[in-house]
């Protein structure tokens, strides 16, 4: 049996890539994906305790070993990574006084700086996999900008940073201790690889081969009667009472809110287009239950298939739920294996494996908060827009759902030529109507 509890690797000891790191590195190295870093930005208005914030950020960086990972200057196709701990005197936050003539000018400068960091390639072997900046306009206006190399930082890590830094800021202000250790990413990576048996890998290959074949056979084609429009986005939100009622109704059906929403979206799309089979992709976080607090890279995309998608809606939702759960079991393939099975499938069917319909499903433990008020501070997340950074969505439809304790947000991006606004609007309206029927209450806001 593999050792499921390996010792934490010592500094300098090679740490294996997670499967998700391996895939991300292979795709960026082959220019299949554009390089883009993970960014966070907070506008801070009020009397900031700068020393407390710097201490909180340093504590986060020091205790999460994913941020200590080091690669050689030229990682190559089969790179090694190892831990290089943060030194006692090493600066982890760059502080800068910005001589802006107004708050608007300060915000524009922060946006420009964040945009530059977002697209700047990392210098392997020279840089830490992060850049964190604290900008000061005056005593009552600051900006905290953080950029992380996606190779070591995913959506879950993004959430942990925002939660832990501001939690620790308040603790430092009170004079309370903050955690000096955290679950090890290096240890989790070793454990992930050690826990995969040859039989599990074969099942994962068979799973992906079957689903990629389905994707190649059932590409998205713009439905007859769909109106071509400009591409765009739609957005809706269920408030706290509506979300609570929906969560209760879903629990009776042994479904999570996100599972129900994804299944309802699939059914609505099938009914509106007359399709009986739909191939989908979704982002999947392979963290085990014991590793939920690990900062690192465990996120990758995987294919899903739905048959009889226009049939009984409850059956379709159950099928989507089962697909999501099964996909989690089969995140056990290297980049080389994924590339090989994809090429094999495309050669067999004489057609590319597309990514026409994509689902992003994210669940947060706390309340939805655009603003965070601490009494002395008003903190606004995502306050600085990226400038001159084009984001191209390759999908015909891209569903983005975020479940908070007090809210459910649903975004739907659509390709104007392959879908068009009227069809996208009709599908989203059907999802919202199904939610209202299941959990009556005030209509969602748009």
Q: Is 300 helix (H, G, I), strand (E, B) or coil?
A: strand
Residue 7: predicted pLDDT: 63
Contact 55, 63 (CB under 8 A): no
With beta carbons less than 8 A apart as the criterion, state whether 141 and 107 touch. no
Q: Which residues of 361-377 are buried (b: 16+ CB within 10 A; e: fewer)?
A: bbeeeeebeeeeeeeeb
**Strand, helix or coil for residue 233:** strand
Tens digit of each residue's pLDDT (9 = 90 or more) over 401-436: 999 999 999 999 999 999 999 999 999 999 999 999
CA distance 369 to 264: 26
Q: Which domains are seen in the chain, by residue range? A: 14-190 (3.30.559.10), 196-367+384-438 (3.30.559.30)
In what helix (H) or strand (E) does residue 326 lie, and over which residues does it extend?
A: helix 313-329
What per-residue string of b and e applies to 80-101 under the rule 16 or more CB within 10 Å gives b? Answer: ebbbeebeeeeebbeeeebebe
Q: How far is CA 191 from CA 15, 196, 234, 291, in A?
A: 11, 9, 41, 10
Give pLDDT, residue 359. Answer: 96
Backbone φ and ψ of 179, nearest 5°: -60, 140
Secondary structure of residue 220 in the 3-state scheme: coil
The full length of the chain comes to: 446
Low pLDDT (below 50) residues in the chain: 1-5
**182-230 pLDDT tens trace:** 999 999 999 999 988 999 999 999 999 999 999 999 999 999 889 999 9
pTM of the model: 0.90
pLDDT at res. 205: 94
Task: Give me the phi and psi of 55, to 5 degrees please.
Answer: -65, -40
Eight-state DSSP code of residue 67: G
Q: What is the reported pLDDT for 167?
A: 94
Distance of alpha carbon 149 from alpha carbon 164, whole angstroms: 19
Contact at 8 Å (CB) between 327 and 266?
no
Of the candidates 39, 57, 43, the residue with the CA atom closest to the CA atom of residue 379: 43
Sequence-distant (6+) residues with CB within 8 A of 290 are: 183
- Given a contact cutoff of 8 angstroms between Cβ atoms, the answer to whether 428 and 263 are in contact is no
**61 in Cβ contact with 130 (< 8 Å):** yes
DSSP assignment string, 234-264: EEEEE-HHHHHHHHHHHHHTT--HHHHHHHH
Bridge pairing between strands 397-404 and 357-363: parallel
Residue 365: what pLDDT? 80
Residue 259 is predicted with a pLDDT of 96
Cα Dmax for the chain: 65
């Amino acid at each position: 049996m593999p050792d499921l509890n390996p010792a934490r690797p010592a500094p300098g000891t090679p740490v294996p890539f997670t499967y998700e790191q391996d895939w991300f590195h292979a795709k960026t190295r082959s220019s299949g994906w554009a390089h883009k870093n993970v960014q966070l930005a907070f506008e801070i208005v009020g009397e900031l305790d700068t020393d407390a914030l710097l201490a909180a950020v340093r504590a986060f960086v020091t205790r999460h070993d994913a941020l200590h990972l080091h690669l050689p200057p030229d990682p190559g196709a089969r790179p090694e990574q190892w831990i290089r701990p943060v030194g006692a005197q090493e600066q982890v936050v760059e502080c800068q006084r910005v001589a802006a003539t107004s708050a608007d000018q300060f915000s524009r400068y922060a946006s420009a700086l964040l945009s530059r960091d977002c697209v700047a390639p990392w210098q392997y072997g020279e840089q830490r996999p992060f850049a964190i900046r604290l900008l000061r306009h005056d005593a009552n206006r600051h900006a905290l900008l953080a950029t992380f190399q996606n190779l070591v930082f995913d959506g879950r890590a993004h959430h942990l940073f925002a939660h832990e830094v501001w939690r620790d800021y308040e603790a430092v202000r009170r004079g309370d201790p903050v955690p000096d250790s955290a679950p090890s990413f290096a240890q989790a990576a070793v454990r992930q690889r050690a826990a995969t048996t040859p039989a599990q890998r074969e099942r994962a290959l068979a799973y992906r081969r079957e689903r990629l074949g389905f994707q190649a056979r059932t590409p998205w084609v713009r439905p007859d009667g769909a109106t071509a429009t400009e591409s765009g986005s739609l957005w809706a939100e269920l408030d706290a009472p509506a979300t609570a009622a929906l969560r209760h109704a879903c629990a009776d059906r042994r479904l999570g809110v996100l599972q129900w929403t994804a299944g309802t979206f699939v059914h609505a799309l099938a009914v509106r287009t007359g399709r009986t089979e739909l191939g989908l992709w979704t982002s999947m976080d392979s963290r085990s239950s014991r590793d939920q607090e690990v900062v690192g890279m465990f996120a990758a995309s995987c294919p899903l298939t739905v048959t009889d998608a226009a049939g009984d809606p409850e059956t379709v939702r159950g099928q989507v739920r089962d697909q999501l759960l099964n996909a989690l079991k089969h995140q056990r393939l290297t980049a080389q294996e994924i590339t090989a099975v994809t090429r094999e499938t495309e050669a067999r069917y004489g057609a590319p494996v597309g990514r026409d319909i994509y689902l992003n499903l994210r669940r947060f433990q706390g309340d939805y908060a655009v603003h965070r008020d601490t009494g002395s501070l008003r903190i606004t997340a995502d306050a600085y827009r990226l400038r001159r950074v084009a984001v191209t969505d390759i999908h015909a439809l891209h569903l983005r759902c975020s479940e908070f304790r007090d809210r459910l947000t649903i975004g739907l991006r659509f390709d104007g030529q392959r879908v068009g606004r009227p069809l996208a609007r009709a599908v989203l309206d059907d999802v919202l109507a199904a939610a209202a029927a299941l959990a009556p209450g005030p209509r969602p806001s748009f």
